[in-house]
Homo-oligomer: A and B are copies of this chain.
Amino acid sequence: MPEPLIALDWGTTRARAYLISESGEAVQKRLADQGIQSVPAGGYPAAFEALAGDLRRAAPEAAIVLAGMVGSRNGWVEAPYVACPASPEEIAAAGIAVDLAAGTRATILPGLSCDDGAFDVMRGEETLVVGLGLADGLACLPGTHSKWAEIRGGRITRFASFMTGEVYGLLRNHSILARLAEEPSGEDARDGAARGLAAAARPAGLLNAAFAARTEVLAGRMSGGAVGPFLSALLAAQEIAGAQALFGRTGRIHLVADGILAESYGAALAAAGIEVAVTAPEAAFIAGVRRLAAGLAR
């Protein structure tokens, strides 16, 4: 049943293209800056050709699946959100077929919506969550707009977004704290992270705790290099506390991250007494898109 697959994670600013073998190995992959915001109207077949035309020629029989913002209102064709709770089969069934230049078909995967008190949406992350293959659990996907998703009985039951990465950038680079912030040394990174986690544990909340980065530096108690790591740890801890308040405390989190985000969220989760299972985003995407491709009508 498994067969080769060409899969694109096609976001707003970037695209990743993979040729995935029958056995699930990414035999070719590439990253391009050609996100949907750089694709002109009607330009998607040509943009696909530029991104993955050689992959298609290498595996002409491969199914082609496109995930992410390519299915948004501002993308190629809008693939309407599937409302939670949603199973992998329900997500796959809502894929939208499009024709590529050569007449070959591709499927655009939908995103998910959730109306659990607050209305929320995701597009692209659902594929990574599916890739975790969980029957029950809680997944954390940190980033510019982090997503947390709850899985029950194999379905994504609800999820929530957090503006963590974006607020980090605003505070680190555009607030009064930016004037004090310097490039961190290794020692700064450790000290700032420890102070940020401690600040998050104080009762007065983010708006108060972030200001401490300023007063601690002005008082000579913290280096300017620690400001960024302080904010990063503070914000990760605030996000984790918010997610726990929303989804309930859990002893184990599935963290979809690599590099510095895996480190900082791993440390913040450990500080909160939570066990962490880490999956790299690429591995989660490949597993998820294979699972969803297997459920597509062919």
Q: Could you list which residues of chain A lie within 8 angstroms of chain B, going by C-beta atoms?
A: 117-121, 145-146, 160-164, 166-167, 170-171, 174-176, 199, 202-212, 215-216, 218-219, 221, 235, 238-239, 241-243, 245-246
Contacts and interface: CB of A to CB of B under 8 A. Distances in A.
A207 B235 contact: yes
A242 B163 contact: no
Given A174-B174, A204-B245, 8 more contacts: A118-B209, A118-B212, A145-B211, A162-B205, A163-B211, A166-B176, A207-B238, A208-B246
A246 B245 CA distance: 19
Nearest to A144: B176
Given A166-B175, A207-B162, A202 B117 contact: yes
26 contacts: A117-B202, A118-B202, A118-B215, A119-B215, A119-B216, A119-B221, A120-B212, A120-B215, A121-B218, A162-B208, A163-B176, A163-B210, A163-B211, A164-B207, A167-B171, A167-B175, A174-B174, A202-B246, A203-B246, A204-B242, A204-B245, A206-B207, A206-B242, A207-B239, A207-B242, A208-B246
Given A204-B245, A238-B207, A170 B174 contact: yes
Contacts of A204: 160, 162, 242-243, 245-246
A117 B200 CA distance: 12
B206 A205 contact: yes
A154 B239 CA distance: 39
A295 B187 CA distance: 47
A121, A207, A209 — which one has the most chain B CB atoms within 10 A of its CB? A207
A86 B227 CA distance: 30
Contacts of A160: 204, 208
The 5 closest A-B pairs by CB, nearest first: A205-B242, A203-B245, A204-B242, A162-B207, A204-B246
Contact of A242 (B161, B171, B203): B203
B241 A211 contact: no
Contacts of A221: 119
A212 to B, nearest CB: 5
A245 B146 CA distance: 26
Given A162-B211, A163-B210, A211-B145, A245 B205 contact: yes
A202 B252 CA distance: 23
Nearest to A146: B207
